[in-house]
Structure 1
Amino acid sequence: MNPREGSLVIQRCRACGTLLAPLIATCSACHGVDLESVSSSGIGSIVSSKVMHRERYGTQDDPVSRTIAIVALDDGPWVYSWIAGNVPTHSGQPARVEFKPSAMVERLPLFSVQTYQGP
């Protein structure tokens, strides 16, 4: 299977079928090394997040704020990522996110916060 261009690509172990985060070299379930790239739905929930303030190199501008997070994909694996926009706090619901196609920031995928669509 060829991953769709612009989709979030994760790994699948050919031996046991476990879905794994991108850039993984060994299956955490069976320790197999025969992995294939597959497309993810790109939708998940934020497990943990932290706002980071970084100075812009070589400038006197105000620091840039970015949110780094661990996202539990609906497909199964957890991935480290950047979050575009503000992460809601104390909402009582998990923050749902969606991958922004073709968006990579410092080798991590970029997700945007989605409005909760309740039952």
Structure 2
Amino acid sequence: MIEGSHVAVLPHVAADRLMLRSCDDCSALSAPGSAHCSDCGGTSLSRVPSCGVGSIVSSTVVTSRPRRGPAAVEVPCTIAIVELDDGPWTYAWIEGRPPARSDARVRVRFAHEEPGERYPYFVCAA
């Protein structure tokens, strides 16, 4: 997900579960990286698990160079806005190229690049 810099254990990921923010004042759910409630503006937020399934609202393909290795080949990457079935919208990396329709269904998965690291991304749901 694109929620700031990647660190070894992202705060919105717990044991391969995508975590949303729940307002302690009004119970509204907000995106994983939110600092305040999207409904009431409250700043007292707890983390709650997401169902991890949603629909693509919008996506685009960008090119990037791999971070590791000597190859300087540009690699296509799909980034998207995903509307989670839980309600909030979030920015996300999409594995592969999503179907042409904008409401393609996706499910969260986790990359385990190094021990202790978990990076969420979405794949097209069958």
- TM-score bracket for this pair, using the shorter chain length: 0.7 to 0.9
How far 1:5 sits from its partner (Å)? 1.6
Once residues 20 and 61 of structure 1 are traced to their aligned partners in structure 2, the CA distance between those partners, rounded to angstroms, is 38
Match of 2:106 in 1: 97
Name the structure, 1 or 2, with higher relative contact order (CA <8 Å, separation 6+). 2
Once residues 81 and 119 of structure 2 are traced to their aligned partners in structure 1, the CA distance between those partners, rounded to angstroms, is 11
One-letter amino acid of the counterpart of residue 24, structure 1: S
Which 4+ residue blocks in structure 1 deviate beyond 6 angstroms?
none
Q: Which has the larger radius of gyration?
A: 1
Distance 1:104 1:36, change over 3 A: farther
How far 1:11 sits from its partner (Å)? 0.4
- 2:83 matched to 1:72? yes
* Aligned ranges 1:36-55 → 2 under 5 Å: 36-55=46-65
In structure 1, the gaps of 5 or more residues are: none
In structure 2, the gaps of 5 or more residues are: 1-12
Q: How many residues align?
A: 109
One-letter amino acid of the counterpart of residue 74, structure 1: D
One-letter amino acid of the counterpart of residue 78, structure 1: W
Distance 1:46 1:104, change over 3 A: farther
How far 1:103 sits from its partner (Å)? 3.1
